[in-house]
Structure 1
Amino acid sequence: MRTIARDFYDLLQPVNPEEAVAKKAARRLLTLLKHSDFDEPTANTPSVSMTFGDQIALFKAALPEGFEAEAYKTAFRDASRRKRAHVDASIEASRENLAVEKLDALIEAEDWKGGWKVISDVLMGCDLLSSTERKAVRGIEDEESAQLLTLAVRDLLHGDDVFAERFKRFLEQVEETEMRGSWSLVTALPALHDPEVHVCIRATAFRDQAKILMPQLRMEMKPELPTYEVLQMMAVNARDQLIEAKVQPRDLFDVRNFMWLTLRKDADRKLRAL
């Protein structure tokens, strides 16, 4: 008889009367279970020397004021200076331009190209997408795809169903267009809409972070709901550890930046050079 590894104890939640919560917990657990045989580490098990505590120490040494350091805020958060890297301005633009009443007005008028332009302007105005992903966004020009994506984004951000159902539908609808559904592309809008709950997945950074916090997880290249929920949980757990270490992130964008800043090559020198 197999036993559950200690790393997965926090996924074992008591039965919750809310069916959506119970289903989400089950999906997250099954995602980790399918990547693990609970045996001793093998040659395929990632070997890492850095711990999450090491990442925190590195970050605090380079930026003693943490996320409140002027260098950090100037590089990543400043809403008064409109640069793509300044996520606060992108959050404001998303909440204003993709508000339900504005999307509904465009849908009511059947202005599909106008709807997609508003959505793509938000995506193109931020620094969350790679050049390839930005090209994919610009490549949507036909009326049918614009209609499909406008309705899909409206449902994703403002639909009545639980987020899991909306996200699954969104992935399916993106697949019906010529736009490649990469991790950053399909998670950028939920993160901009609600950055305290959702996170934009930067694939390389999250894959590297998972080697430390969830070494059994093998992150799929193609976005899928169960893996997103596990990565979202990992980001929330990382946020909680940062708070315990007296490094207060404002939202999950700060957590995302923390992962990238502390795990990239030559991280210490680059952090101090901010």
Structure 2
Amino acid sequence: MKHHHYLLLASSLLTCPLANAQTAPTSGTITYETMRRIDPSNIRINVNGQEIRPGGTLPDGRKFEVPETTEGVEKVEFGGQWAKADNGGRNQMRMFRGGPGGGFPGGGDRPGGDRPDGNNGGGERTPEQMRAMQQRMNRFRMPMEQATHTDLTTGKSFQLTTLNIDSTKKEYYQTEVTAARPADWKVTGKTKTILGYTCQRATCTIKEQPCSVWFTTDLPFTYSPAPNFTPDKGVVLFIESDDLMYRATKIDAGAVNEALLKPRADAKTVSADELRTIRQKAMATLRQQQSRDFPIRN
């Protein structure tokens, strides 16, 4: 009798999944922590009509410095044929965050930075001035938003740029993302577990820097938050190099609105060069707004 019990137990272990096995979601959200190294040559601010680049001198005599890296959070929704990553500020310098000594250009918690006399932003403000400044901050909006839509059946990605013309008018531009995996991409035999999923390690080189990419084939689609590092099969959960980092911190299963994951049908298709010009104009508008609403005092 005991012998039959043992046979039944062994049979159940072979035919039933383990209790702690993870069910792969077919729709949901992946949250990534991100880090990118900033290229100072692409950064500039406009102060009272004067363009100042990193290392330049601000009107009050201080040096304009920028942080070495920018960090953020990127959420990717997936379901059906599409995945969508909201990355509106991922590639933009956040002028009000993270400069040496504080957040605004030149440091400090207010425009103008920390003054030698101990006053932020060129002097203490009255309650009326602080209320007026808060109103300007509330009106402040980034001139553009960005999202990347990936067709999970073809692997093609499309970047959608939304220009906020004013509070009621928007313009939409779309361009296909050109992606090419590094020539020295190699899948190694190393594995590790990330968020409960078994991941394989791939190595490659980017900008002469070694890069590790960890991806799992336990999820039922292929995707990478950075298209250049997409494996033949699997979802990338961790990219690590000196200049770039994506680390998945959470995978939430759940229903998503699949219609919103697709690119907009009314977006104008433009080339990468045309989109670059559109962005430059939008950032010029932003710099003018910063100069008007948050002047740096002498």
TM-score, length of structure 2 as denominator length: 0.22
- Say which one has the larger Rg: 2
More helix by share: 1
